[in-house]
């Protein structure tokens, strides 16, 4: 992504931080696909605007103004993605490309109206929280268990695709095509570490997925079925 804007740096920093990744220049460069000198200049400009600071270990931290701006950008992007997928029928990868444009084109008021029209979704299509859309207790926990770590034979539900994987359009298309979307039922049947693959039962269908891709999919245990109520005695 040549010539990334300052807002794109803010959004990238927010995403990395949300996943518990230290925000350093090298990770921003990798996430945005830019050269390290460009990152250095962008961080300097963000510091000048009062959006970030950098500590002695070269880790970037948000100021209050910077975090507010970054959260607003991410909110608009994820609401746009939700609208594009749920209302207009775009797949994940198409929605991500179009949302990148829309997020910088419409205002917070427009985002709020779109959110209300969709009954205020709390997550983007990939299962990651939309800032400001719901109480923290109703949003998915970040971190957690990835599909490649799930116990063999355990019934799991796909919860989300990690935030920093969303920039990989090929990965989004792959996961969409595999049906590894939030809410899908999955069970790891086998692992072949030498081949770097897993065999997974996904909503009744066996599929093979690479471990690298599976590591980007976070899952949680399926809730145990409710016990049938005891019949009343006569």
pLDDT tens readout for residues 108-119: 999 999 999 999
Residue 134, pLDDT score? 59
Average pLDDT (39-48) is 96
Sheet holding 197-202, edge to edge: 145-146, 217-221, 155-161, 185-192, 197-202, 205-210
Share the mean pLDDT of the chain.
87
- Is the model more confident about 85 or about 168? 85
> Is the confidence at residue 201, as pLDDT, over 90?
yes
> Is the confidence at residue 176, as pLDDT, over 70?
yes
Average pLDDT (150-158) is 93
Query: Residue 4's closest CA among 18, 25, 20?
Result: 25
2 pLDDT tier (thresholds 50, 70, 90): very low
3 pLDDT tier (thresholds 50, 70, 90): low
Q: Which domains does the chain have, with CATH numbers?
A: 6-62 (1.10.10.10), 67-138 (1.10.60.10), 145-221 (2.30.30.90)
| CA-CA-CA-CA dihedral for 66, 69, 71, 72, to nearest 10 | 180
Is the whole model's pTM more than 0.95, yes or no? no
Write the CA distances from 202 to 58, 172, 193, 211, integer angstroms.
42, 17, 20, 15
Residue 219 tokens, joined: 């899952």
> Is the confidence at residue 169, as pLDDT, over 50?
yes
> Is the confidence at residue 194, as pLDDT, over 90?
no
> Is the confidence at residue 234, as pLDDT, over 50?
no
Percent with pLDDT over 90 in the chain: 64
Average pLDDT (59-83) is 95
Residue 230, pLDDT score? 53
> Is the confidence at residue 137, as pLDDT, over 60?
no
């Amino acid at each position: 992504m040549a010539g990334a804007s300052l807002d794109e740096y803010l959004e990238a920093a927010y995403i990395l931080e949300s996943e518990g990744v230290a925000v350093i220049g090298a990770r921003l460069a990798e996430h945005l696909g830019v050269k390290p000198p460009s990152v250095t200049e962008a961080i300097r400009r963000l510091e000048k605007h009062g959006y970030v600071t950098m500590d002695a270990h070269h880790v970037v931290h948000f100021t209050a103004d910077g975090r507010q701006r970054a959260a607003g950008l991410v909110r608009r992007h994820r609401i746009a993605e939700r609208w594009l997928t749920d209302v207009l029928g775009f797949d994940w990868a198409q929605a991500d490309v179009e949302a990148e444009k829309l997020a910088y084109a419409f205002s917070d008021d427009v985002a709020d109206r779109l959110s209300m029209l969709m009954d205020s979704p709390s997550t983007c299509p990939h299962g990651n929280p939309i800032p400001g859309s719901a109480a923290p207790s109703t949003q998915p926990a970040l971190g957690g268990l990835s599909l490649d770590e799930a116990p063999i034979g355990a019934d799991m539900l796909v919860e989300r695709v990690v935030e920093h994987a969303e920039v990989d359009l090929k990965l989004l298309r792959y996961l969409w095509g595999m049906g590894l979307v939030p809410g899908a039922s999955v069970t790891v049947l086998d692992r072949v570490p030498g081949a770097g693959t897993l065999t997974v039962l996904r909503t009744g269908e066996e599929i093979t997925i690479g471990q690298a891709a599976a590591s980007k999919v976070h899952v949680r245990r399926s809730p145990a079925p409710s016990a049938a109520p005891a019949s009343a005695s006569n």
